[in-house]
Amino acid sequence: MPVNVLFSARPALWPVYEPLLTKGLTEAGLDFHLATDIDPDQVDYVVYAPSGGLLDFTPYTRLKAVLSLWAGVEKIAGNETLTVPLARMVDHGLTQGMTEWVVGHVLRYHLGMDQHITVQDGVWTPDVPPLAPERQVCILGLGALGQVAARALAALNFDVTGWSRTAKDIPGITCLHGDDGLHATLAQAEILVLLLPDTPATEHILNPDTLALLPKGACIINPGRGPLIDDDALLAALNTGQVGHATLDVFRVEPLPVDHPYWAHPNVTVTPHIASETRPVTAAQVICDNIRRSEAGEPFLHLVDRSLGY
């Protein structure tokens, strides 16, 4: 009997993923049926994105797992009809893209590139930046993306501190956790990178109280999730100079409305959710490997802890 794999994502993605998934499942030696329309009670695996519109998993009585094409699973993790394992997307293409984006913007702040690019007033101002070991970079979130970004920055000799809700141990990185660890991390963050998931526990992790803990003039980089930041609090901190600049890639509403204050603020850089993207070639490899593992009786990779929401 073939393994039935339902592709439930934005229809425009089907022509992209169909040949990649077919190739991967074939190379895995599986007898399979891959389609966008399969009787629910015959589906073994769902390749999933919220854009596919699938909300009720109750009819999928034979389902073994839902395999997400997205790294973020906040739109599905709380679905009470989903009782089978849920795996999120962790692929090296997405990770590489995020690392490049984060490192690029950390270096931009570290070297003061904005000033040299935008201020050409004929005044010779040889302000030499400190070397990387003298710059404190902090990362909130030490999941797959946060760990790789932290290691890349440490490899450039930045002094990197990472914070997570639970204890982590990463060679070369100062790892803190818990409320006290969060406060200590923020208090030293000259450049702060947000790579946390969107959960009830992380919403507005940057708020009036936590923003006040930052060194005055700190820079914020958010390629994680929009709800991590209280927007009004950040704007207020930018206006007082408590926060020197913010580079924001993700927002509560996307596209960011044209009348949003972020667009016009002189100390905000908006990028249109481009920090990283699931790459179909590498994502398909991850999906196919998880199906192969399941059919061979091996544990799934990148399972979501539903109690934590990521």
Looking at residue 245, which CATH number applies to its domain?
A: 3.40.50.720
For the chain, how many structural domains are there in total?
A: 2
Res. 308 pLDDT band, cuts 50 70 90: confident
Question: Is residue 53 situated within a structural domain?
Answer: yes
In a shared domain, residues 67 and 170? no
Q: Is the pLDDT of residue 157 over 70?
A: yes
* Residue 174 located in a structural domain: yes
* For residues 82-86, average pLDDT: 98
The reported pTM is: 0.89
pLDDT at 140: 98
Pair 32, 170 in one domain: no
Residues with catalytic roles: 225, 273
Domain that residue 21 falls in = 3-91+278-295
pLDDT band at 119 (very low <50, low <70, confident <90, very high): low
Look up residue 163 and give its two tokens.
């914070």
